[in-house]
Structure 1
Amino acid sequence: MTRTRAISGALTGAALLVLSLSLTACGDSEKDYVQEKTVERIATEQLTNAVGVTPEDLDCPGDLEGKVGTKMTCVLTSEGKDYDAIITVDDVERGRVHFQIDVPPNAEQ
């Protein structure tokens, strides 16, 4: 993981934050997914643990499909500014969905 600054203030400049998370997926007979609120909660906790600052909000557009390569762009709010937080599923194994959160440099919306 590379990060040049913390969320608070850091995302206004060159910040790169990549976190890897693994969650148990919900599922039916057709596909696995992680519920939107679960992704938001766990991602917020991990961002806080990684940089020591809690984002004001992290809002994802829906459930995260448990399929490798699935991407979803959430909106991270810090110090009143919004930033892209890109969620990418990189592994699914035995009902566990592993994904990364990427807050790229200059990702302010």
Structure 2
Amino acid sequence: MTRTRAFSGALTGAALLALSLALTACGSSEDFVQEKTVERIATEQLTNAVGVTPEDLDCPGDLEGKVGTEMTCVLTSEGEKYDAIITVDDVTGGRVRFNIDVPPNATE
């Protein structure tokens, strides 16, 4: 089984209806987290959680450091694209903490 196939299988498996991770963007400001930082941290945490590195994670821009802010990134695994929904849940002391949810269904 290829690494990307394992990732895709983990996302669509019955045990994982949605992958939720709490991530902290260290070194970010309370105003925003740079797009590349969000992508890097989310990719690292997804890899740690699933055991497979996604082919790509593309976010549309910087993440505003405001509780409740949400943006949808596109995660690619084995050629399939998935929504990766990033939501800010805490901003404290110059750190922005966010969750990532990856629903198991590929997007069109």
TM-score by length of 1: 0.83
Work out the CA distance in 1 between the residues paired with 2:67 and 2:83: 20
Work out the CA distance in 2 between the residues paired with 1:102 and 1:84: 8
RMSD of aligned alpha carbons = 1.6
**1:107 CA drift (Å):** 4.5
Give runs of aligned pairs for residues 1-109 of structure 1, distance below 5 A: 7-12=7-12, 15=16, 16-23=18-25, 24-26=27-29, 32-109=31-108
- Residue 3 of structure 1 is matched in structure 2 by none
Change (3 A) 1:50 1:13: closer
Work out the CA distance in 1 between the residues paired with 2:86 and 2:106: 14
Q: Aligned AA for 2:33?
A: V
| Identity within the alignment, % | 79
Per-residue Cα deviation, 1:87-109 (whole angstroms, up to 9, x for no partner): 00000001100000001232533
Q: Aligned AA for 2:28?
A: A
Q: Aligned AA for 1:79?
A: E
Alignment length (residue pairs): 100
Unaligned 5+ runs, structure 1: 1-5
Work out the CA distance in 1 between the residues paired with 2:94 and 2:106: 31
Quick check: which one's helix share is greater? Answer: 2
Give yes or no for contact 1:11–1:107 (8 Å, CA) kept in 2.
no
Work out the CA distance in 1 between the residues paired with 2:101 and 2:78: 18
**1:48 CA drift (Å):** 0.2
Work out the CA distance in 1 between the residues paired with 2:92 and 2:22: 15
